[in-house]
Chain A
Amino acid sequence: MIPELGHFALACAVALAFAQGVVGIFGPSLRDARALYAAPLLACSHFAALAGSFLALVWAGVVSDFTVENIADFSSSATPLLYRITGIWGNHDGSMLLWCVILSLCGLAVALFGGNLPASLRARVLGVLGLISGGFLLFTLTVSNPFTRLWPPPLHGAGMNPILQDPGLAFHPPVLYTGYVGFSVAFAFAIAALIEGRVDAAFGRWVRPWALVSWCFLTGGIALGSWWSYYTLGWGGYWFWDPVENAALLPWLTGTALLHCSIVVEKREALKAWTVLLAIATFSLSLSGTFLVRSGILNSVHSFAEAPNQGLFILALLAITIGGSLLLFAIRAPVLAASGIYAPISRESALVLNNVFLCAITAVVFTGTLYPPFANLLFGVQLSVGAPFFNQTVLPLAAPIIIAMGFGPLLAWKRADFAPVLQRLYLAGGVAAVVFLVMAANRHIIAALGLAGGAWVVMAALTDLAQRTRLFRVPLGQSAARFFTLPRASIGAALGHIGFGVTVLGIAGMTLAVQSVVVLQPGQSTKLGGYVWTLQDIHSAPGPNYTQRVADITVADKSGVFLRLHPSRRFFAAQGTITNDAAIHTNGFNDLYAVFASELPGGGAELRLNEQPMAPEIWIGGLIMALGGFFSLSDRRLRVGAPARKRVAAAVAS
C-alpha cells in the first residue's frame, strides 16, 4: 500500500511541477498578484508531494519490502539498516527520484528564502525550476519508475554491491547531486533574467549565494568520491580521469568560474552576458554529465545500467533545457552591455584571467572526455584518451591559475598597480622559492613545483588576511578585532584559496608516495619508507553480512612499534564477492596504508604497503574550500541583502 501512495505522490508531483512552471513563467505577465504568489505555494506543495514519494520508497527499503522491484534488486534482509536506506539511491531509478527531490528542494529554498527578490523574478525563477523538474519527474514516472512491483517477491533480495556498502559512498550521491542540482537555481536566475531582459548588480548579488551553496556541495561531493576511491579501491589512487569523474569536474570548473565572475557583475556591472552564459553552461554540464554518462555512450569503469531507450528520452529533455536556454541567450543576451570599465591590471582583469584558464581547462577535459565517441562518429576512427592526456594538458593550464591566485585578491578594483602587490607578496614568494629549492635539491622536480605552487597559494591568501587585519603593524588585539569585523565574504574567499592550495600540496605530495607489494609469512617483516612493517598474525573475524580474514600488522620506527594496522579481506556470501578493506593510519600529513591483497595457499599474506605523504591534504583542502564557501555565505550582505553602499564603506576602511 505504501509504495502505491508513493507512486501516487510522484504523479501528483509531476502535475504540481508543471503547474509551478506554467504559472511561474507566464504569471508575471498577467499582472495579477494571485498568479505571482501561486508559484511559491506550488513549489512548496510540489516539494511536499515529492518528499512523501521519497519517504515511501525509504520506508519500503527500511522494512525490506521485496515486492518493490527496486528494493528486491538492490537490497537484502541481511543488509544493515544504513545501507538499506542509502541503497535506495545506489541504483538508477532511486537515484533519479533523489535527483528530483533535491531539485524540488531547491525550488522550496527559493520560495522560502527568496523573499527579498522582486516577486516577478521569483515567480519566473520558480517557473523555470518547475519546468525542469516536471520534465525529469515525467521521465521518472513513465520510464524509470522506482515503485514497480514484483510478484512473487524473492525471499531475501539480491543484496547490494558490497563495494558500495561504505559510509563514504552512502553520502556521496546526495552531496554530489545537491551540488549538481543546486546549479539549477543559478540557471533559473539566468533564464529569468534573460526573460526580463535585465542583468545588473542585483542579479550578481542574488545569483551568487545559490551558486556558492551548490559549489560547496559539489566540492564536498567530489572530495568524498575521491576519498572513497582512495580508501576502498585499495590502490592508493584518488583520481582516475574516468568519464564519470570528469562529468563532476566539468561543472565544478565552470561553477568556480561563475562564482568569480558573478563578483564582477555585482561590484562592477561588467561581464554580464558571460556570467549568464556560465550559469547556463554550468547547469547544462551538470545535466549532461549526470545523464549522458548513464546512457552508456562513454566508456566508463563506473557501471550504470545502460539503457539507450531511456537515453533518447533524456536527450530530448536535455535538448529542450539546454537548447532552449541557449536560444534565449542568443536572442536576448546581445543587448546586455557592460557599464563598468577597468584597466588591464585590476581585480577585474585577474578574475577574467581566472575565467579564461578555468574555461580552457574545462574545454580540454570536455574534449578529452567526448573525443572517443565523437571521433568514431565523425571519422570512424577508434582512439583512447586516458590519464596521461589529462595530466599533460590540465597541469600546464593549472599553473597560471595557481600563480594568478596569489595576486588576484590583492589587486584593487578598476585600476591597480602591480609593484606594491609584488612587494606585499615577498613572503609568499620566498616561502614558495624555499620549498621549491629544498625539494628540487632532492631531485623531486614535479613535487617541488607542486609543493611550491601550493605553498604560494596558501601563503598569498594568508598575506591577504594579514594585510586586511594589519597584522604585526598594529597591536595583536587590534588585529584580532579587525579580523572579526572583516566582511565574511573576504575571509571565505581566503579560506577557499587556502583550501585549494592545501589540495595542491596534497596532490604534489602524493607524487612522492612509495609502494611495495610483499608476500609475508606471519612473523616476517619488510622495510618501507623508513619503517619496519611486520605481519604478526592472520585470523578470522565476524562481520554483519560478511566474514573476514584480518591481517595484524605492526609498524615500527627507530623507537619501536608505534602502530598496529588491521587490513582485512571481506567475503560477502550473498554476492560471492570479496572486498579488500584497507587499513589507513594518518597523522594528518602522512598516510600509512596497508591492503591485505590475498592470502596464499601455503599460508602467508600478500600485502600492499604504501606510504603516501600529504595524502590527507587533498581532502582536507576540499573540506576547507567547502567551509570557506559556507563561511562566505554567512556574509551579512547575502543574509539580509544589505545595500551596496555599506560594503563600499567597509572596503575603504580595510
Chain B
Amino acid sequence: MSPLRRRLLFGVPLVLAVAGGEGFYVLLRRMRNNEYDPHALPSPLIGKRPPAFSLPGIAGMRGFANTDIAAPPRPMLVNWFASWCMPCAEEAPLLGQLAAGGLSIWGIAYEDDAKSLQAFLAQNGNPYQRLASDASGTTAINWGVYGVPETYFIDKSGIVRWRYAGALTPEIVKSTLNPLLERYS
C-alpha cells in the first residue's frame, strides 16, 4: 500500500466519527427546537387512506385488509404492536380501557409469531376486535411505521387523521385522542 493511501485509510475513522457527530448535533438541535421527536413523528399517511394490504389473522383471530377499514361505522384505531416490545405491554391496559369504553381497536402484530403473541395477549389482555399479522414487515414499511407500538386514528371515511409513535398514555388520550373522537364521530 502506498504511504498516501495508508494515510487516507487511517483518516477514515475520523471522517466517520465527524459525520456521525455532525448527525447527532443536528438531531439534538432539532430535538431542542421540537422539530425532532424520536417518539412521535409526522406520518406521510395523515390525510390519506392506508396503502393496499391484506393480512391474515393470527392467534385465532380474523385478519383484515385495507378495504375492511375503508369506511368503518365509527372512528377507530389501528394499533401496531409486537409481543417482543416492552412499551406495547405497557400501553396494553390503556388500550383495554379504551376498548371497554366502546372504541374499536384493530391490531396488527409486527414480525411476530402466534405462540408468543398468544402468551402476550393472555398476559396483557386482548383489546382487539380483529388481529392481523404482518409477519414480513412489508405492510409496516408501506405504512411508514416507525416502530412498535404505533397507533393510527382512522375516521369514518377511512382516512388516517392522526398517528402516534410510542406507547399511548392517559395524557395523550385526554389531550389528543378524545378531541379527535369528538370531532370525527
At the interface, yes or no: A301 with Cβ under 8 Å from chain B?
Answer: yes
Interface string of A347-378 (1 = CB under 8 A from B): 00000000000000000000000101110111
A334 touches B14 (CB 8 A): no
Residues of B within 8 A of A383 (CB): 141, 144-147
Q: How far is the CB of A164 from chain B (nearest CB, A)?
A: 15
* Interchain CA distance A387-B35 in the complex, whole Å: 28
Knowing A308-B32, A372-B146, A384-B146 touch, does A322 contact B17 (C-beta < 8 A)?
yes
Q: State whether A315 and B146 are in contact (beta carbons under 8 Å apart), knowing that A323-B18, A330-B14 are contacts in the complex.
A: no
Chain B residue contacts of A242, Cβ below 8 A: 86
Which residues from chain B contact A590 at a C-beta distance below 8 Å?
none
Residue in chain B with minimal CB distance to A517: B122
Whole-angstrom CA separation of A319 from B23 in the bound complex: 12
Of chain B, the residue at the smallest CB distance from A302 is B86
Interface string of B33-75 (1 = CB under 8 A from A): 0001011010100000000000000000000000000000000
B28 interface residue per 8 A CB criterion: yes
State whether the Cβ of B84 lies closer than 8 Å to any Cβ in chain A: yes
A333 interface contact, C-beta 8 A: yes
Contact with A along B6-32 (1 / 0, CB 8 A): 110011011001101101111111011
Interface residue A296 (Cβ < 8 Å from any Cβ of B): yes
Contacts of A301 in B (CB 8 A): 85-87
Question: By the criterion CB–CB under 8 Å, are B32 and A330 in contact?
Answer: no
User: Is A284 in contact with chain B by the CB < 8 A criterion?
Assistant: yes
Within the complex, the shortest CB–CB distance from B156 to chain A, in Å, comes to 26
Whether B119 is near chain A, meaning CB under 8 Å from some CB there, is yes
Question: B interface, how many residues as a size bin?
Answer: 35 or more
- How many residues does chain A have at the interface if contact means C-beta atoms less than 8 Å apart? 50
Partner of B10 from the list A318, A334, A381 (CB cut-off 8 Å) is A334
In B100-141, which residues have CB < 8 Å from any A CB? 110-111, 119, 122-123, 137, 140-141
Indicate if the CB atoms of A330 and B123 lie closer than 8 Å. no
The reply to whether the CB of A608 lies closer than 8 angstroms to some CB of chain B is yes
Question: What is the bound-complex CA distance between A515 and B39, given in angstroms?
Answer: 32
Contact of A329 with B31 at beta-carbon distance under 8 Å, contacts A240-B84, A299-B166, A517-B123 already known: no
Cβ of B28: which chain A residues have Cβ within 8 Å of it? 295, 297, 308, 311-312, 315
Instruction: Please name all residues of chain A whose beta carbon is closer than 8 Å to the beta carbon of B14 when the two chains form the complex.
Output: 323, 326-327, 329-330
| B23, B24, B141, B166 interface centre (most CB from chain A within 10 Å) | B24
Q: Which residue of B lies closest to A373 (CB)?
A: B27
- Cβ of B148 within 8 Å of any chain A Cβ, yes or no, is yes
- Cβ contact within 8 Å between B10 and A376: no
- By beta carbon, the residue of chain A nearest B3 is A334
Partner of A315, one of B25, B84, B123: B25
B165 beta carbon closer than 8 Å to chain A:
yes
Measured between C-beta atoms, what is the minimum distance from B59 to chain A in Å? 12
* Complex alpha-carbon distance, A374 and B25, angstroms: 11
Interface residue? A298 (CB, 8 A): yes
Decide if A526 is an interface residue (CB 8 Å cutoff): no
Q: B145: nearest residue on chain A (CB-CB)? A: A384
Residue B78 lies at the interface, judged by CB distance under 8 Å to chain A: no
**Most chain B CB atoms below 10 A, which of A284, A373, A382:** A382
**A277 within 8 A of partner (CB):** yes
* B82 interface residue per 8 A CB criterion: yes
**Nearest CB to that of B14 among chain A residues?**
A326
A326 touches B122 (CB 8 A): no
Asked if residues B86 and A309 are in contact (CB atoms below 8 Å), the reply is: no
Q: In whole Å, how far is B146's beta carbon from the nearest beta carbon of chain A?
A: 4
A281 at the interface (CB under 8 A from B): yes
The answer to whether B38 and A377 touch across the interface, beta carbons within 8 angstroms, is: no
Q: Kindly provide the distance from the CB of B46 to the nearest chain A CB, expressed in whole angstroms.
A: 12
Smallest CB separation, A385 vs chain B (Å) = 8
Q: Are B17 and A372 in contact (CB under 8 A)?
A: no
CB–CB B31/A384 < 8 A:
no
A386 touches B146 (CB 8 A): no
Question: In the complex, which residues of chain B have a beta carbon less than 8 angstroms from the beta carbon of A420?
Answer: none
Could you tell me if A277 and B147 are in contact, using CB atoms closer than 8 angstroms?
no
B148 to A373, Cβ gap below 8 A? no
Residues in A whose Cβ lies below 8 Å from that of B144 = 381-383
Q: How far is the CA of A522 from the CA of B147 in the complex (A)?
A: 41
Given A277-B13, A326-B17, A386-B147, CB of A374 within 8 Å of CB of B23: yes
> Which A residues touch B137, using CB under 8 A?
388
In the bound complex, do residue B148 and residue A308 qualify as a contact, i.e. CB atoms below 8 Å apart? no
* A244-288 interface with B by 8 A CB criterion: 273, 277, 280-281, 284
Bound CA span A376–B27, Å: 9
Most buried by A among B13, B36, B137, B140: B13
A292 within 8 A of B: yes
Given contacts A240-B86, A301-B86, A309-B32, is CB(A373)–CB(B7) below 8 Å? no
* Cβ-defined contact, B24 with A297, below 8 A: yes
Measured CB to CB, the closest approach of chain B to A181, in angstroms, equals 20
Residues B38 and A299 in contact, CB atoms below 8 Å apart: yes
Alpha-carbon distance A142/B147, docked complex (angstroms):
36
A597, CB-defined interface residue at 8 Å: yes
Most chain A CB atoms below 10 A, which of B26, B29, B31? B31
B31 x A308 contact (CB < 8 A): yes
The chain B residue sitting closest to A314, CB to CB, is: B28
6 A-B residue pairs with Cβ-Cβ distance under 8 Å, sorted by A, are A297-B28, A299-B166, A312-B32, A322-B21, A334-B3, A386-B147
- List 17 additional contacts besides A312-B25, A322-B21; criterion CB under 8 Å: A273-B10, A281-B13, A284-B17, A295-B31, A301-B85, A311-B28, A323-B14, A330-B11, A334-B3, A334-B10, A373-B23, A376-B36, A377-B23, A382-B165, A383-B141, A386-B110, A515-B119
Those 7 A-B pairs whose CB atoms lie nearest each other, nearest first:
A384-B147, A517-B122, A382-B146, A326-B14, A330-B11, A308-B32, A301-B86
| Chain A residues engaging chain B, CB cutoff 8 angstroms | 233, 237, 240, 242, 273, 277, 280-281, 284, 292, 295-299, 301, 308-309, 311-312, 315, 318-319, 322-323, 326-327, 329-330, 333-334, 370, 372-374, 376-378, 381-388, 515, 517, 597, 608
